[in-house]
Structure 1
């Protein structure tokens, strides 16, 4: 049993590390495409268009399209609205801020998830996690340096709103996942998103140099592959093990920022990033402890 568990944990970690690298690569390509004339609306459309095509191919070649049939279309529509809003804010932060800084601010998502879990799901949240939330926000303030002109104020706001909306999506997904499989949820998010994004794209589409078209298509394919890798990681291993791997994306963001744009994180990012990361790791660990205790108590009652 131990060997079987270990055999699943290691691939889970590998898939989550791969997803972090792919998402960081997608973000770098987004900045490169924008620098050559691509707009936010175009990036959003191709992100979901490429992902939808990739998902349809994977599902059709595997379990078949019947496997993603759903009776909870309203829930998937709500997830698409929240997910698209989060993605738009995330991409705005990426375009306005250096890669390392936008990535670091995105790490505040577990902080917002803790707050929303307590307020919406009435999850028990002790002083340990509330202290981690306070420390995490301190780290965000260190990185953002509000009022100092450290970097664009609205870029930081977009990053924080993106983290809040992404946390909201995670809360909604907990409820959807009770009846829907992960692949079903990802499929409907990608395909439903194309309806509003197709309308937006009709108004913002413009001619580009061939390299920009390749970049836009790459955004979708890389993003779709990253989503599949992330989904696989959650299927293979527990959240408490795989989620901390997401912080490796800061290494990729720093490397891409330096190699492609000649930008390294400022001193406040080096100071604030560890504070945010440690806060997030502690929140994940406390959630693991809580679930373990609930499992032990359930077994004891049996």
Structure 2
């Protein structure tokens, strides 16, 4: 791997951290709306605002002037289906489960994505980095400490969401460089808006007060940031390197839990966070070693 390759990996790490920050903030705003707005209405309104904002940005950036290559349309369609499925199953679980339980199940995603990338794309993954990911997962469990009583039907919904997100990330990885990220983001947001808009007509809508409207707007802005970052991150760097940085979402969750919901981390939670951060630092160190040696194996 060249120095440029190292730069791509660091760029991917930064994009992953930005994506996790945006999505965690979005989850916080959405969770605050639970019990106020029906899920389908919320997702339609958020999708409407997101689609409009992304559409304006895509137009100004000239994304509509660039065509998606024919060979990529199947991947884009697969990504749209995956995004709709992930939104429904994850947010349904989020509305009906404690945030800690949902977070615990979702943390299986980095390992699943990394293993899937190794199997599908034949990307190298040494035992040291795999071990770091597994130890990081132990740290995740220390942070969220889900009880067995928390595994319900909605726990299965969260697992299904993990599968959909894995499909979304891998299909994004296969998109060619000619496909503009903003156009994919616009199509993704539009698909979510259309699906949940049609579904919302089957349910009674709730009136929006100013607080709810502002939360929907804030969630929409965060979704735009999450969409863009999640698309770009799968196209930069090595999946096995960038996926561990999804764990930074846990740090955001801890901070937001304290600031918004008044949750104060226990010592075991802080220990788990230290393990996760430590494994991330080790992964960076190990990657640097491999680059200096001019080979990519662990």
- Scaled by the length of structure 2, what TM-score is found? 0.74
> Where does the alignment leave 5 or more consecutive residues of structure 2 unmatched?
none
Q: Which residue of 2 aligns with 1:201?
A: 200
Q: Which residue of 2 aligns with 1:300?
A: none
Kept in 1, the 8 Å contact 2:94–2:102? The answer is yes
- Structure 1 residue 293: Cα displacement: 8.8
- Partner of 1:186, secondary structure, is helix
Structure 1 residues 211-250: aligned runs within 5 Å = 211=210, 212-228=212-228, 238=237, 246-250=246-250
What are the Cα deviations for residues 206-236 of structure 1, in whole angstroms up to 9, with x where unaligned?
122323233223322331134335657788x
- Structure 1 residue 264: Cα displacement: 3.4
- Partner of 2:257, secondary structure, is helix
Kept in 2, the 8 Å contact 1:45–1:197? The answer is yes
Structure 1 residues 161-176: aligned runs within 5 Å = 161-176=160-175
RMSD of aligned alpha carbons: 4.2
Q: Which residue of 1 aligns with 2:262?
A: 262
For 2:284 and 2:8, locate their aligned partners in 1 and report how far apart those are by CA, in whole Å: 20
Q: Which residue of 2 aligns with 1:65?
A: 64
Between 1:7-16 and 1:168-177, the stretch displaced more is 7-16
- Structure 1 residue 133: Cα displacement: 4.7
Between 1:109-118 and 1:281-290, the stretch displaced more is 281-290
- Partner of 2:34, secondary structure, is helix
Structure 1 residues 52-201: aligned runs within 5 Å = 52-67=51-66, 69-71=68-70, 72-99=72-99, 102-103=102-103, 105-143=105-143, 145=145, 148-149=148-149, 151=150, 153-154=152-153, 156-177=155-176, 179-201=178-200
- Structure 1 residue 188: Cα displacement: 2.0
- Scaled by the length of structure 1, what TM-score is found? 0.73
Kept in 1, the 8 Å contact 2:23–2:222? The answer is yes
Distance 1:202 1:280, change over 3 A: farther
> Where does the alignment leave 5 or more consecutive residues of structure 1 unmatched?
298-302
Kept in 1, the 8 Å contact 2:75–2:172? The answer is no
- Partner of 2:264, secondary structure, is coil
- Structure 1 residue 30: Cα displacement: 0.4
For 2:204 and 2:293, locate their aligned partners in 1 and report how far apart those are by CA, in whole Å: 52
For 2:62 and 2:267, locate their aligned partners in 1 and report how far apart those are by CA, in whole Å: 49
Kept in 2, the 8 Å contact 1:28–1:99? The answer is no
